[in-house]
Amino acid sequence: MKQPHSFAELFYTPKPAVWVLWMRVVLFGFFAWRVMSYDFAIFGLAPESVLSVYPAMLHYDVELNYFLGVPWVVDMATFHWIHWWLPLPNVSQLEHIQWAVCGICLIVVAGGRGPYHLFSFMAIAGVTYLWGFLWRSGVIDSMFPQLAMAWVYSLSRMVEPANLLRKDSYRRLTQHRSEFGALYSSVLIIWIGYYFTSGINKWSDLPLPDWFNYRFSHVHTFYVQAVDIAGFDPLIPKFLAPFFQFPLLDFIFPALIYISHCLIPLMYFRRHLIPVFMVFYLWFHVLTMGVYTLFAEIIAIWFLFIPIQTAFEPLRIQSAVSMRWLSHWCWLAPVEWIARQSDQASMIIDVNKQQSYPLFSTRSVLRLLWVNPLGWPLLALASCLYYTPLLCALWIRPEKPKR
Amino acid sequence: MKAKRHDNLVAFFSKIALANRMTFLDDWHSITQQPTPSPSILRVYSICWLLCAAFCMISLQVKFLYPFEKAQPLYEFPDGAMYLWSVIWAAMAVLASQQSGFVKKAIHHLIRADWRWWLGFFLITLAYAQVDDSKLMRSFIFLPFKATGLVWMTVLLWPVICKGTYAAKVISVYIVLAGTAYSVPGIFFPPFYRGIEGFIDVPDWRKGDDMVLWGYQLVRDDGARIWLGRDVIAPAYKLFEYHSAMLALAYWQTPAGDHYTQRFKHNAEQNMKELSEFYIKVYQRQWTLLKQGKYSGERYLGKWACPIHNRTRPMPYGAFAPEHIAAIDYVSEYYPAHDRARPTRRVLMHYSLKTHRARVTFPRDYPIDFWFKAP
């Protein structure tokens, strides 16, 4: 079979229904989690002046990044235009709205978009409305790509898997369809756009010398001292301290991040790079905790791209190759043995040597772990070790096409 | 049957898309390649550049909306450069409408995604951007590059938006809207986002051995103090960072042409009073959680709550019951390198819960941009 290579062909590369289910659970579960992680009721205590710090006011002092974020624009985008006529909600009303939005998100998680996709549109409207309070009180919170993904999902016309209203939609979760692939590609494009625009911003926002001038070890040291000496409030995890002991890295690491932002569109055309970028950015986002910055919402969304369908697909093992592997990688033997012994669902299939399945690549370790729930806890560790960019550059190649 | 104008446009854009070998259309093989750009595309470019010129001119009006001179004398809004760009863009528009040879050639190559022309365009823009040290101005310098990319992308996706499959239409419309939101400097319209800005190097006071800390402190009736963490007022935690925003709001509310120092001081004190009262109310609401060592965001989910962007460590708020809070201060603490044990504290804003009055002080030896820097 010819491998898809053009933008359009890749766009419709079939994906299994189970991924759409996974996306729904992760994305709307994330919304529910995020909504309940804030106490929105405090905005019921806020005077008008506190809720007047619109994005146009932010960075007002420094660089005017959002000088067109004037009140009426933000109000239009966040359904806050209703407050041109209605009074702002009080504490009790905000608590009720918060629970209602969480509830509607959980309904989408459990049962899909609902009739006329009403549930998902209501969830998006609710989340946007609540975040409107943040955007008009000085916070540019990172909910933009997530909301865009939710819009694309809600607007799609696919037959939804695991839909509460359709009993037959629970079957054939491993069925591959191009419309699911289109949704996957759309979500991927939005995610790439988030990083790529950040990459282009680095060219326009920073003079070239500043690419090598972000001294994060200074920032780390400053915050550590501020906590130790002045009892200041930042939470800087101690286990990250060793990573900030090499000032030389200050000149390399930020530039590496900027370059990775610019290279991330490769992820669309070479899908095997998704886990590489995922592991790279997970490391990066964990490291930024050392400079008083945590990207919890970004970390959560990376999990959308976990190949969850792998757990539902049988693993075909070619005995001869497997034996060769055992001789080279002795530590694989117990993993395979455990996987075979606990394979109650017959997910591991021995195939005939004559059949033309692709030869095993190094990533069969991960496949073996995917097969059985017992291996899932080890999967994260193995992925981190395996998809580290340096190792990837040496070992990982695109999967060979099936003949 | 008479062909509709709409169909002609679709056919035209399809040809352009074909030239780039990127289309969602099924019948793209059947469309012939167009060798040179027609006058229509020049007209499109001409209109776009005119719009950009108009945008630059309109942006200049921002100056009259925001009282820059008062807010930050050190920061000069680059009028001259902006006017220059308006002229350059208008000239480009005129050249394009006159079908100048060079413009025609440039568009020909850019539309066909000739990487050499794009690289040249990028390098020229980048070189010019190095000259200006203002991030805002650089975003305007990059506007032609981004806008041309946006036009190119829109031309590519136009056939898809008109004739593509539904899924392709949705993402194409998203890409065009997001590209527009990205290209226009200063725009804010959720869920479209401009991307994370470039990291700016930290201010000097973080690099040296001397250390200066800014932030809010709660003052107990016996004089004891504690830093007020961002987690306490989450999700409005950026108000701490943009303490200056409230001062800026005071500028905003101060009419230009007035004797503004007095008025600004009055407005700033009024704003800080409202802000401090808000903090105290929130603190009273969250104190039952805070005294247990929890964050305000952990009200519903406990330890499973999503942490905020800037996490703070649990502070001993249990000893600072709301009924014993006498004041809330915005302070700067200076820790000299030679004697860290004896910091110098300056109270820049003091709000007393007894008198319900805020007092803002402006130390003369603080540079003016101090008031507008995030702590």
Residue environment code for B173-208, b if the CB has 16+ CB neighbours within 10 A, otherwise e: ebbbebbbbbbbbbbbbbbbbbbbbbbeebeeebee
- E strand spans, A243-347: 315-318
B157 compared with A5, residue with greater pLDDT: B157
CB contact under 8 A, A53 and B249: yes
Q: Is A279 near chain B, with CB under 8 Å?
A: no
Four-residue CA torsion sign, B53, B56, B60, B65: positive
Q: Alpha-carbon distance B93 to A232, whole Å? A: 55
Distance from C-alpha of B111 to C-alpha of B122, rounded to nearest angstrom: 15
Where does the pLDDT of residue A1 fall: very low under 50, low under 70, confident under 90, or very high at 90 and above? Answer: very low
Q: Which is it for the CA torsion B293, B295, B296, B300, positive or negative? A: negative
Determine which of A191-200, A336-345, A393-402, B129-138 has the lowest per-residue pLDDT on average.
Answer: A393-402
Ramachandran bin of A162, using left for φ above 0, alpha for ψ from -120 to 50, beta for the remaining angles = left
User: Which comes out higher in pLDDT, residue A322 or B139?
Assistant: B139
Per-residue confidence (pLDDT) for residue A342, from 0 to 100 = 65
pLDDT for position B18: 55
Name the residue among A40, A61, A294 with its Cβ closest to that of B72.
A61
Distance, in Å, from the CA atom of A287 to the CA atom of A219, rounded to the nearest integer, reads 13
Per-residue pLDDT reduced to its tens digit, B120-131: 889 888 887 776
Chain B partners within 8 Å of A135 (Cβ): 188, 190
Task: Give CA angle at A378 (A375, A379), nearest 5°.
Answer: 85
Could you report the per-residue pLDDT of B223-242, keeping only the tens digit for each?
999 988 888 888 888 777 65
> Across chain B, how many H-helices and E-strands are there?
13, 5
Find the helix packing angle between A274-287 and A376-386, rounded to 10°: 90
- B248 close to B266: Cβ distance less than 8 angstroms: no
Whether the CB of B202 is below 8 Å from some CB of chain A: the reply is yes
Residue A194 at interface with chain B, using a CB cutoff of 8 Å: yes
Hey, are the CB atoms on B307 and A78 less than 8 Å from each other?
no
Residue B241, both tokens? 């960072």
Give me the pLDDT at residue A43, please: 94
ipTM of this predicted structure = 0.80
Shortest Cα distance from A119 to chain B (angstroms)? 18
Helix and strand tally (H, E) in chain A? Answer: 17, 4
When comparing pLDDT for B363 and B185, which is higher?
A: B185
Interface contact flag, A295 B237, Cβ < 8 Å: no
Average pLDDT (B253-257) is 54
Instruction: Using the structure block, give the residue that is written with the tokens 């060219």.
Output: A203
In the predicted structure, residue B75 carries a pLDDT above the cut 50 = no
Query: d(Cα B375, Cα B371) in Å, to the nearest integer?
Result: 10
All residues of chain B having their beta carbon less than 8 Å from the beta carbon of residue A133 are 235-236
CB A129 within 8 A of CB A79: yes
Q: Is residue B281 pLDDT above 50, yes or no?
A: yes
Helices A17-36 and A118-135 sit at what angle, rounded to 10 degrees? 40
pLDDT higher than threshold 70 for residue B186: yes
Q: Is A205 on the interface with B (CB under 8 A)?
A: yes
By percentage, how much of chain B surpasses pLDDT 70?
A: 64
Separation of alpha carbons A16 and A22, rounded Å: 10
Size of interface A-B (CB pairs under 8 A): 317
Q: Which pLDDT score, from 0 to 100, does residue B83 have?
A: 63
Confidence label for A348 from pLDDT (cuts 50, 70 and 90): low
Percent of chain A with pLDDT strictly greater than 70:
74
The verdict on B248 touching A (C-beta cutoff 8 Å) is: yes
Strands B211-220 and A348-351, bridge-based pairing: unpaired
Which pLDDT does position A8 carry in this prediction? 80
B41, pLDDT greater than 70: no
User: A105: pLDDT confidence band, cut at 50, 70 and 90?
Assistant: very high
Check residue A260 and give its pLDDT.
92
Q: Which of A11, A205, A258, A262 to mutate to test binding with chain B, by most B CBs within 10 Å of its CB?
A: A205
| Whether residue A151 has pLDDT greater than 70 | yes
Residue A101 near chain B (CB below 8 Å) = no
Mean pLDDT of B242-251: 59
Helix (H, G, I), strand (E, B) or coil at B328: strand
Q: Give the β-pairing of B211-220 and B344-352.
A: unpaired
Q: What is the pLDDT of residue B9?
A: 54
Cα A253 to Cα A257: distance, rounded to the nearest angstrom: 6
Torsion of CA B126, B96, B179, B175, to 10 degrees: -130
**Rounded mean pLDDT of chain A?**
80
Question: Which residues in chain A are contacts of B23 at CB distance < 8 A?
Answer: 8
pLDDT in tens, A249-274: 788 888 889 999 999 999 998 888 88
When comparing pLDDT for A77 and A140, which is higher?
A77
Spatial contact of B90 and B49, defined as CB atoms under 8 Å apart: yes
